[in-house]
Amino acid sequence: MSGYILKRMLFMVPLLLGITLVCFFVMHLAPGLPTDLQTQMNPKSTVEMKERLKTMYELDKPVHEQYWSWLKKLSRGDLGISFSSDHRPVTAKIMERLPITIILEFLSLIIIIAIAVPIGVLSAVHQDSIFDKITGVLVFIGFAVPTFWLALLLMIFFGIHLGWLPISGLRSLNYEYLTPWAQFIDLAKHLVLPVFISAFGGLAGLSRYMRANMLEVIRQDYIMTARAKGLSERDVIYKHALRNALLPAITILGLSIPGLIGGSVIFETIFAIPGMGQLFYMSVMARDYPTVMGILLIGAILTLLGNLIADVSYALADPRIRIS
Amino acid sequence: MFHTRWRIRELEFLDGINMNFWETFYKNKLALTGSGIVLLLFIVSLLAPLLAPYDPGQIDLRNVLASPSWNNLFGTDQLGRDVLSRMIWGARISLKVGFAATGLAIIIGVILGATAGYYSGWVDAVIMRFVDIMLCFPTFFLILAVIAFLEPSIWNIMIIIGLTGWMGVTRLVRADFISLRERDFVKAAKTIGASDLRIIFIHILPNAMASILVAATLGIAGAILTESALSFLGIGVQPPTPSWGNILTSGYANIDIAWWLSLYPGLAILITVVGYNLLGEGIRDSLDPRLKK
């Protein structure tokens, strides 16, 4: 098993190189330079200044040289210095935001599992019941709802109309003066909408998938055997069937990670959450190449790791699967 | 629907596939609802200049952020423009982007998938590794990164969404080709000396049309969702051109005053996407009843 994991990790290296190569070239071949954005707004800027900026950011060199020097820095764990006015190292900028995004994604994964699995199982067990039909319609709509629109509606309803939940940021202005318990409540209140919105995209997919799995498992011979030997329906469903239906869902969760990360751009921007998605959006708008490249790389690593963890845990959970 | 008819004739080679496409399709109420929605959108987009009660760009500063009334059914935005008129014109944008982006994705997917499935071997391996790379990547990140560095325009959006959405089609077409190339009619074509190109496009591809058509219909829905998200973030269709996504941007900016700016455009996106999804699933169920859940 450890050999397999090692091999997969090694395979990730060329994959990551390919991804960074594509991103780097696409970004740099696109017309427009980050220095344009910084000088256009300044009426005092001269051509000379523009050139000096270009030299400072090494943008005057050919693209392949820029990529090579980016790679060399990367091998030392250095993602370069941000082009934005704070001129901080990209690694530091990402690291202070990454935990927020990861915690949010993790919470929404838990929500997805906690809601989608029971829905999928129940609608399969009671196939064609009213519950199944209603969830079927909801799932179908769930696939089609633009999540950012749902975020707006929930903000209007719960945040503005009812005034129950805060609609931006992670903390209230008076956070520092609250008791620890009140701080926790404050944080939790700020998290409700972002976590729900982030989870929403995955809910429909996983519940439909669980339903299909469960329907297939229920028709298997070993389920009939379990019934035949007189087990209660409860045991048949929740001990024998559920376990087998849950297994393939692990893979789906691994595959849903790119979507979650991509979605973080939208909901972190909407809810003004200082996470990686918001940083990405701001860096993209400011044409901050080093930061954009850094986040793309981290996003790709997270995705690949997620896939690996999914594959490995699938193998660990199902002894019938042998990986070599 | 021309393609479907044409496909059905070709399908007679295949056994077990439903020959009575239209009969099954007409009985499928959900599929009919879907086609109704899609048809309605076509009509609205075509007749936008006639249907829109106002000029979508007409600014009226005395009537800013007016709530829905008989004069402005869906209210007005921060410049006093009529939201309903902007939404009607926005339907055109989403239709254009949906079709163009999906068309591009289908062309790339068919070419790559057909090549991989027909030739197999190292060609297949290279193409499928490339697909894996593209799939394991947060696509939305990539789209954002690319589009922000290009001039945001409707053309660039179509191209970028198309260039990042072909992987599913490639997989589908490849799978179809792998099973179809072993069929007798392909062997027969080979025996009489048909060229590879001829076999791929004239003999095999028409038989793979079912899954492509379904993927295209569902792909349009996805492309419309992506376009609206990009326009919402301000890097998609640029104002003053109205799109459902950028009306929602002003909804976000005026979230505490003007709920109608947020509610209606999103509802339009939702209904459109539901329509295409229903149509796609309806086509799939009618072409091949065995695929029905």
Distance from CA of A258 to the nearest CA of B (A): 4
Residue A105 Cα, gap to closest chain B Cα (Å): 14
Q: Is the pLDDT of residue A44 over 70?
A: no
A93 pLDDT higher than 80 = yes
Alpha helices in chain A (DSSP H): 2-29, 34-40, 47-56, 63-75, 90-125, 130-144, 147-154, 180-218, 221-228, 233-235, 242-255, 257-270, 276-285, 289-317
**Cβ-Cβ contacts under 8 Å, B139 against chain A:** 258, 262
Distance in Å, alpha carbon of B130 to nearest chain A alpha carbon: 9
The set of residues, in sequence order, having a beta carbon less than 8 Å from that of B213 and lying 6+ positions away, is: B3, B4, B7, B283, B287
Q: Is B266 on the interface with A (CB under 8 A)?
A: yes
Residues 190-249 of B with CB under 8 A from A: 221, 225, 228-229, 232-233, 235, 248
- Banded model confidence at residue A289, pLDDT cuts 50, 70, 90: confident
pLDDT in tens, A242-273: 888 887 777 777 777 777 888 888 888 888 88
Would you call A145 and B270 a contact, using CB atoms and an 8 Å cutoff? yes
Mean of all residue pLDDT scores within chain A: 82
pLDDT of A41: 63
Which residues 227-266 of A are in CB contact (within 8 Å) with B?
Answer: 258-259, 261-263, 265-266
pLDDT at position B108, please?
Answer: 95
Q: B290 or A115: whose pLDDT is higher? A: A115
- A chain contacts of residue B251, beta-carbon cutoff 8 Å: 152
Q: What is the model's pLDDT at position A184?
A: 84
Residue ranges for chain B with pLDDT beneath 50: 1-16, 292-293
- Give helix then strand counts, H and E, for chain B: 14, 0
C-alpha–C-alpha distance, residues B95 and B245, integer Å: 13
Mutate: best of A128, A140, A152, partner B, most B CBs <10 A: A152
Q: Find, among B34, B48, B42, the residue nearest to B84 by Cα.
A: B48
pLDDT for position A220: 85
8 Å CB contact of A146 and B228: yes
Q: Cβ separation of B144 and A265 shorter than 8 Å?
A: yes
Note the maximum CA span of chain A. Answer: 87
Tokens of A195: 């976590």
- Of the pLDDT bands very low, low, confident and very high (cuts 50, 70, 90), residue A45 is low
Peptide bond into A14 cis (omega under 30): no
Q: Are A178 and A186 in contact (CB under 8 A)?
A: yes
Which residue of A28, A138, A149, A161 is the best one to mutate when testing the B interface, meaning the one whose CB has the most B CBs within 10 A?
A149
Q: How far apart are CA A79 and CA A279, in angstroms?
A: 15
Each residue's pLDDT tens digit, A137-165: 888 888 889 988 999 999 888 888 887 88
Please give the average per-residue pLDDT across A115-130, as a whole number: 89
User: Cβ distance B275 to B37 under 8 Å?
Assistant: yes
CA B57 to chain centre: 27
A137 at B interface, C-beta within 8 A: no
ipTM reported for the complex, 2 dp: 0.82
A-B contacts (CB, under 8 Å): 125
